[in-house]
Amino acid sequence: MSRTPSATPAPKRHTPTPKLGVRNTWQRTAVVEALRDIDKFVSARQIHDALEQRGEKVGLTTVYRTLQSLAQVEAVDVLQNKDGESLYRHCLTEHHHHHLMCTQCGRSEEIEGGPVEQWAQLVAQRYGYELVGHDAEVFGVCRTCQEERGNNA
């Protein structure tokens, strides 16, 4: 069965992501590209909505599964919001890092762990553990949101 070209132009494609994992499907690529375009921590539902707005039909279950598999190969950053919901963002760096996230707008910065890295190692050693990993995320209100809040007061 042959496919006829669509009358609408194809969506803009970014350079491929090397960490897509073993199954590089069009759905997986679409999810990664949506994450790149959004460029902040968002829920699976928000990614699904963004894909629908682009006209890309990817089921919500597929979005969840894709995000889980991308997290396993460390192609996305994952953190939990205050309600326990997983939020995802395209991973910008290859090395270990943490995040500073605005609780108002979702903007985030990748930050170095500095003293957190040493502290985690010391705590593990103190209790006789071998450190295999840790998570440390920092939440606050970014300057832009602070200014907007000040203007609305």
Question: Residue holding tokens 């995320």?
Answer: 137
Whether residue 147 lies inside any domain: the answer is yes
The answer on 121 and 107 residing in a single domain is: yes
Domain residues for the domain of 118 are 95-153
**91 labelled binding-site residue:** no
Q: Is residue 5 part of a domain?
A: no
Predicted local confidence at residue 10, as pLDDT: 41
142 labelled ligand-binding: yes
With 0.75 as the threshold, say if the pTM is over it: no
Residues 6+ positions from 78 with CB-CB distance below 8 Å: 67, 71, 86, 87, 88
Judge whether 147 is annotated as a binding position. no
Question: Any idea what DSSP says for residue 26?
Answer: H
Q: CB count, 10 Å around CB of 29?
A: 17
- In this structure, the answer to whether residues 18 and 79 fall within a common structural domain is yes
**Count of domains forming the chain:** 2
The helix (H) or strand (E) run that includes residue 16 is none
* Whole-number percent of the chain with pLDDT over 70: 82
Residue 6 lies in a domain: no
d(CA 120, CA 106): 26
**Tokens representing residue 136 in the block:** 């440390």
Q: Residue 107 above 90 pLDDT? A: no
* 96 in a labelled binding site: yes
Tens digits of residue pLDDT in 49-65:
999 999 999 999 999 99
Q: Are strands 98-102 and 137-140 parallel, antiparallel or unpaired?
A: parallel
